[in-house]
């Protein structure tokens, strides 16, 4: 199955245009890093279906596996998406409580690297970092 055909199928399933009060889109970092190489472009296309006037935020969800495996965040795609519709970016760490301190350190280091390299300079305000406790071990 080719990308265009697969993408069309995803867009039928994940068409968000009917959601009139959608405020945030939550995406796991692992879904962008460890799945098919076209995943960021599928996300971009799903993002393009959002019609809710309430929409204002994309949350990147970091989980345990993102702390121990290299991850990739497609900021070129996020930059393109932001040029079409403005949004805030939130980094959310969702891990068991015992991993919160080390997890926040890893994510903060990644955020510092992104700022230093100008990777997120397209945003009007810096990304927010939040943590929430996971109830399950993934």
CA-based end-to-end distance of the chain: 30
pLDDT over threshold 90, residue 11: no
Round to whole Å and give the CA distance between 25 and 36.
20
Q: Give the tokens for residue 42.
A: 């599928």
Q: Exposure of 44 by Cβ count < 10 A (0-12 exposed, 13-18 middle, 19+ buried)? A: middle
* CA–CA–CA angle 68, 72, 74 (5° rounding): 160
Q: Exposure of 73 by Cβ count < 10 A (0-12 exposed, 13-18 middle, 19+ buried)? A: buried
Asked whether the whole model's pTM tops 0.85, one would answer no
Report the pLDDT value the prediction gives residue 94, as an integer from 0 to 100. Answer: 94
Q: What is the pLDDT of residues 64-101, one digit of tens each?
A: 988 888 888 889 999 999 999 999 999 999 999 999 99
Report the pLDDT value the prediction gives residue 1, as an integer from 0 to 100. Answer: 46
Q: What is the pLDDT of residues 16-72, one digit of tens each?
A: 887 888 899 999 998 887 656 777 888 898 899 999 999 999 999 999 988 888 888
Report the pLDDT value the prediction gives residue 51, as an integer from 0 to 100. Answer: 92
Q: What is the pLDDT of residues 104-118, one digit of tens each?
A: 999 999 899 998 999
Q: Give the tokens for residue 44.
A: 């971009």
Round to whole Å and give the CA distance between 27 and 3.
20
pLDDT over threshold 80, residue 12: no
Residue 68: closest CA among 106, 117, 123: 106
Task: Indicate the SS3 state at residue 26.
Answer: strand
What percent helix, strand, coil does the chain show, rounded to 5? 45, 20, 40
């Amino acid at each position: 199955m080719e990308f265009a055909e697969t993408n069309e199928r995803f867009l039928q399933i994940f068409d968000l245009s009917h959601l009139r009060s959608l405020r945030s889109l939550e995406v796991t970092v692992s879904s962008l890093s460890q799945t098919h190489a076209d995943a960021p472009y599928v996300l971009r296309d799903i993002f393009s279906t959002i019609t809710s006037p309430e929409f204002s935020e994309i949350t990147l969800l970091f989980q345990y596996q993102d702390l121990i495996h290299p991850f990739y965040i497609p900021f070129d795609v996020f930059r393109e998406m932001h040029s079409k519709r403005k949004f805030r970016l939130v980094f959310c760490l969702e891990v068991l409580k015992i991993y919160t301190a080390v997890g926040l350190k890893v994510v903060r280091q990644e955020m510092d690297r992104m700022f230093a390299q100008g990777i997120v300079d397209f945003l009007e305000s810096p990304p927010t970092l939040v943590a929430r406790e996971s109830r399950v071990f993934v």
